Amino acid sequence: MNKTQALAPRIPLMILAIALLIAFYRLILGEVFVWGLPTLQFYPWRLYALDLLGSGQLPLWNPYNGAGAPLFANYQSALLYPLNWLSFFLATPWMMSVIAVIHLFIAGWGMWTFTGKLGYGTLGRGLSALGFGMTSYLVARLGTFPIISAAAWLPWLMWAAHGLVNERRRIDAAWLASFTALLLLAGHAQTAWYSLLLTAIYVLWQVLSVRPIRWQSLLAVGVALVLGAGIAGLQLAATGDLLLQSHRSSGVDYDAAMNFSYSPLKAFNFIAPNLIGNPGEGSYLANDVFFEDAVYIGLIPLVSAVAAVIGWIRGQRARTYPTQLAAVPFWLAIVIFAFILALGRNTPIFPFLYEHVPTFSLFQAPVRWHLWTVFGLCMLAGAGATVWGRTRRAKRWAGRLTAASIAALIAGSLSPVAMEAGHNVEIVTLLRGLFSVGLIGTAAGMLSLIQPDPSHARYARWSLAILMLVAADLGWASVGLNPTHTAAYTLQPEPTASPARAYWPEAVQEHVKFDTWFQPDDYRVVVNQWQEVLASELPDLNILDRLPLLNNFDPLRIGHFELFSQRIEAAAEVDERLFVAANVGSRYSMDGTRAPVDIETARAWLVSDCLQAADDSIPGDWQPATQVLLHDAQTCPNDTATGESTGKVLAIDDSVNEVAISVEVEQPGWLVLADTFYPGWKAEVNGTPTPIERANIAFRAVAVTPDARTVRFVYQPDWLLPGVLVSLVSLLALLVLFRSGGSVAGK
């Protein structure tokens, strides 16, 4: 085939880049993503971390949520992820939004590269690249930055692993280690695990497909993965420490694990992404979360994936088929397996795996197994392009597709008539969805009918039209799914004195967050009332105002803190003792306003008496203002409440990773600090190390005597130096591996 007959190799990537620029043009105008997690988590975390770095402090701790919580160890903060470093030097929320879109291109580019190594043609590679780079699985979740950052490296992992298994070069091992490190630093454990698992299965299939079996390849892949994990060692050590202390240390409960199970009735999403509406337009009809069910890869790539399966079946009968179809059984098995897992509670399979197979109890949202589904479908789509035929049978099926699409187009065009006639919104929304499917299907069918011979000069222009139609289809499906605003996120100056914490009752928080502002069926509410949203003080938006909340919206929360929060929620009436113990001075009502509670609270105070609890129970006579409740202490020096004063706290100097408290002690007792008890915090009294006891379920206490003047708490986690060392040594090993040529083993 001469050059005039083939599509230029880089054009599909150019189409992908242009399509993303058009779909997200509002970012070019300086706007940023605002709906959901970017506002509630990612922007506040990153802005606060940047502020700490600017003041010369390591961003290890967040004192404003959950009575204090790890910031760096919070995996989804992804502070070590290299591409996130760009946001430290440019307008942070804007750059974070741009980086998310860049990852869509990285994902598509990775598919282009991987399918190229497998020998796919330019059209097939373009279908795979566009299908994965703009799949609604990624685009609809774009605001969940860590998912996108992690998923983008899946095809690159595949590319490097395939090269290492089949070519066994050290450079491939180095690339595999690099992409593994990027995946693990991206900040989403669930997506990272699914990506690594799929890569491992693919590698095993590749190794077992060759005779004689080269088991050394498995060893080489294993070493590369370990090296990648070593590079991410600092982050993994910090997050691992938090996981062990968190409310998810033993996994998630059954109901949480089955949350967001894919309904079989939603399978139409593969063909029509907006058949029941679009939350970006306020027309979504289902009582669930749109982005969790999103799986669309484009109508043409989906049909091409089906063509690959049909082509392979026919090839089996004829005992011959293109080499690109050799992996069809593998990818088809992945698609079917992942689809079944995504059904979650809707089949007995996932519940059985939850009970009996490790790792299935670690994560929620079985629907996220669709990462495998869309990846496998995109691989099949690229392979299927090799068997697009011009036979009479192919034209007959193309004609049927065109006729069905025209029928859908005509039916969908009646939506304005239905609206004028006063039909309900469900019918109008359905007709609009049919119109979109009919339009794309009609165009695809007509292109199929005029498909030229691959040897003809018009084939390149025809391929270009196909890819442009795919890009337009996926771009249209993405409209409104990531609302933007010219929002100005700023951190307020730190208060001169730390105020008492505020508390959002769970029911109030859920109402204000999801019923008032972040409505899952209408994204426009947030955009239209943005200033009110910024002023709402929702967790973790409170960081922007430096307002301390007892609430914490982090994905991993310290276990004792979570237990304390559950005690507050479980109380039939407000238990003022819990508010005193947690330094809660105000709470929110259903209208989102904050009002003070009529009790006296402090962040730190001195008591003379202690009670010892064998478990996390609360004695009925416990009075936190005069008694400290110790849970893990071996002994309690006195357990008789005298109510006598033991002194007073003179001043608190909080510099995030260090809290210095000046005290005046009259008799032996305890200094209670209403900050979360967490490993890594160390205490000194007058410069002498002293143990920190877990007090009042979730907080801290140290023993003090009349000679105490200063009690100093410093956050110095044990994982910090070993983690740095492991990461640096692994990085050095990676550089050596890149510079050393040759094979990992003799061929």
Structure-token match 């703009």, residue found: 134
Weakest-pLDDT range from 85-94, 130-139, 376-385: 85-94
CA distance 13 to 125: 10
pTM (2 decimals)? Answer: 0.94
Chain segment 192-215, per-residue pLDDT in tens: 999 999 999 999 999 998 767 788
| Residue-wise pLDDT tens digits, 163-181 | 999 988 999 999 999 999 9
Please report whether residue 656 resides in a domain: yes
Cα distance between residue 124 and residue 305, in whole Å: 10
- Are 173 and 224 in contact by the 8 Å Cβ rule? The answer is yes
Angle between helices 328-342 and 189-208 (to 10 degrees): 150
Structure tokens at 147: 């998912």
Give the range with max mean pLDDT: 50-64, 489-503, 565-579. Answer: 50-64
What is the per-residue pLDDT across 62-107, written as a single tens digit (0 to 9) for each?
Answer: 999 999 999 999 999 999 999 999 988 888 999 999 999 999 999 9
The overall average pLDDT reported for the chain is 90
- What is the structure's pLDDT at 332? 98
Q: How far apart are the first and last CA of the chain?
A: 33
Q: Can you tell me the distance from the alpha carbon of 124 to that of 324, in angstroms, rounded to the nearest whole number?
A: 10
Query: What DSSP character marks residue 453?
Result: P
**Which pLDDT belongs to residue 88?**
82
Q: Mean pLDDT: which of 192-206, 447-461, 586-600 is highest?
A: 192-206
Nearest by Cα to 585 from 73, 67, 46, 104: 67
pLDDT reading at 278 higher than 70: yes
Distance CA 616, CA 11 (A): 63
Q: Tell me the C-alpha distance between 194 and 89, whole Å.
A: 32
Which position has the higher pLDDT, 407 or 257? 257
Strand partners, 525: none
- List b or e across 337-358, with b for residues whose CB sees 16 or more CB atoms inside 10 angstroms: bbbbbbbbbbeeebbebbeeee
Percent of the chain with pLDDT over 90: 72
* Angstrom distance (rounded) from CA 724 to CA 506: 38
Spatial contact of 599 and 576, defined as CB atoms under 8 Å apart: yes
Query: Who's near 221: CB < 8 A, 6+ residues apart?
Result: 161, 164, 165, 173, 176, 200, 203
Give the residue carrying structure tokens 């629907």: 367
> How does pLDDT run across 332-371, given as a tens digit for each residue?
999 999 999 999 999 999 999 999 999 999 999 999 999 9
Q: Is the peptide bond before 522 cis (omega within 30 degrees of 0)?
A: no
Q: What angle do CA 355, 361, 366 make, to 5 degrees?
A: 105
683 within domain boundaries: yes
How far from chain centre, in Å, is Cα 252?
A: 17
Measured from the Cβ of residue 140, the count of other Cβ atoms closer than 10 Å reads 25
The residue among 192 and 250 whose pLDDT is bigger is 192
687 Rama class: left (phi>0) / alpha (psi -120 to 50) / beta: left
In a domain, 407, yes or no: no
Residues in CB range of 454: below 8 A, 6 or more apart: 1, 5
Instruction: Evaluate whether residue 640 is within a structural domain.
Output: yes
3-state class of 382 per DSSP?
helix
H or E stretch covering 244: helix 233-245
Looking at residue 292, its pLDDT comes to 94
Instruction: Taking residues 626-650, report their average pLDDT.
Output: 74
Does residue 633 contact residue 699 with C-beta atoms inside 8 Å?
A: no
Residue at 712 is within a domain: yes
Q: Are 389 and 247 in contact (CB under 8 A)?
A: no
The answer to the question of residue 695 being in a domain is yes
Q: What is the mean pLDDT of residues 282-307?
A: 93
Q: Which two tokens stand for residue 723?
A: 């983690």
- Residue 646 lies inside a defined structural domain of this protein: yes
Q: Is 80 helix (H, G, I), strand (E, B) or coil?
A: coil
Alpha carbons 653 and 498: distance in angstroms, whole number: 9
pLDDT of residue 1: 39
**Burial of 307 per CB tally in 10 Å (0-12, 13-18, 19+):** buried
Q: What is the DSSP letter of 685?
A: E
Separation CA 523–CA 34 (nearest Å) = 9
pLDDT for position 2: 42
Distances (CA, A) of 723 to 94, 241, 680, 715, 729: 31, 11, 14, 16, 10
**Which residue segment(s) compose the domain that 656 sits in?**
604-720
Mean pLDDT on 434-440: 84
| 118: pLDDT strictly greater than 70 | yes
Q: Which of 267-281, 296-310, 432-446, 497-511 has the highest mean pLDDT?
A: 296-310
Contact 257, 361 (CB under 8 A): yes
Determine the longest span between alpha carbons in the chain, in angstroms.
98
Contacts of 728 (CB under 8 A, 6+ apart): none
- Cα angle value 661/664/665 (rounded, 5°): 110
CA angle 81, 84, 88 (to 5 degrees): 125
pLDDT in the model for residue 4: 42
Distance from the Cα of residue 72 to its chain's centroid: 16
| Closest CA relative to residue 682, chosen from 654, 716, 711, 631 | 716
Q: What is the pLDDT of residue 392?
A: 74
Residue 127 has pLDDT above 70, yes or no: yes
List the structure tokens of 618: 């609360």
In a domain, 197, yes or no: no
pLDDT at 411 over 90: no
Domain count for the chain: 1
- Tell me what pLDDT residue 416 has: 67
Residues 6+ apart with CB under 8 A from 651: 661, 662
Give the pLDDT mean for 271-290: 89
What average pLDDT does this structure show over 238-254? 93
Which residues, listed in sequence order, are joined to residue 586 by a DSSP beta bridge?
Answer: 502, 596
